[in-house]
Amino acid sequence: MLEKLEKQAQSCTKCPLCATRTNTVFFDGSSNAKIMLIGEAPGADEDALGKPFVGRAGKLLNEFLKMADIDRQKDLYITNTIKCRPPKNRKPEPAEKAACEHFLKEQIKAINPKVIILCGATAAESFFDKKFQITKIRGEIFDNVKGYEGIKFVPILHPSYLLRKHSQDEGSPRDLTLKDLKMIKKTALL
């Protein structure tokens, strides 16, 4: 099912982003994962390679995953809210997210993870009907997301934000992200 869905994404023309993409960025990791990570949108590196989180932010994410004892290739299924890169890495527009929504819903259905990590505010806003500050809700477990009963959702800070925050002191964004990922790993194993 996921292979067929990925092929559909590769030929999708439902929004203008199809005209400027090099590659669709469908997923990385394992289709047997108990943890799914959903990011905002592909960047330039992701568009070039066809895989999510492979640029500077992805390399930092990999470091945090390793410190939290989460194997990117075995423990995670990684995707984004949209499958094509917005120009200049801008935030995806509502119509672009709507055009890709069925791909994301089908990915979630096929993977059926125990935990979904919402990486950054844009990813979180795709599942909640209100705006909020990611710094206020990061690390919280939401288990009553409409249409996704039985799956726990946990927003975390986006690694691109962490690229600008270098402190690893207690309570710093990097410290909190590591704690969030360790908690997510424990939650997925329950």
Instruction: Give yes or no for residue 189 having a pLDDT over 90.
Output: no
Q: What is the mean pLDDT of residues 63-67?
A: 98
pLDDT confidence of 101, banded at 50, 70, 90? very high
Mean pLDDT of 66-86: 97
Q: Which residues, other chains included, contact 134 with Cβ-Cβ below 8 Å and sequence gap of 6+?
A: 120, 121, 124, 155, 157, 158, 161
What pLDDT, on a 0 to 100 scale, did the predictor assign at position 131?
A: 78
Q: What is the mean pLDDT of the segment spanning 62-89?
A: 97
Are 40 and 158 in contact by the 8 Å Cβ rule? The answer is yes
Give the pLDDT of residue 108.
98
What would the pLDDT profile of 103-116 be if each residue is shown by its tens digit? 999 999 999 999 99
Q: How many independent structural domains does the chain possess?
A: 1
With cut-offs at 50, 70 and 90, classify the pLDDT of residue 129. confident
CA–CA gap between residue 17 and residue 15 (Å, rounded): 6
Euclidean distance between CA atoms 125 and 183, whole angstroms = 22
With 80 as the cut, is the pLDDT of residue 67 above it? yes
pLDDT at 130 over 80: no
Give the start-end residues of each E strand in 49-151: 76-80, 115-119
**Is 90 exceeded by the pLDDT of residue 144?**
no
Look up residue 157 and give its DSSP letter. Answer: -
Global pTM?
Answer: 0.96
Residue numbers of the domain that contains 58: 2-189
Cβ neighbors of 49 (< 8 A, separation 6 or more) are: 23
What was the pLDDT predicted at 115? 98
pLDDT of residue 59: 97
Q: Can you give the CATH number for the domain in which 61 is found?
A: 3.40.470.10
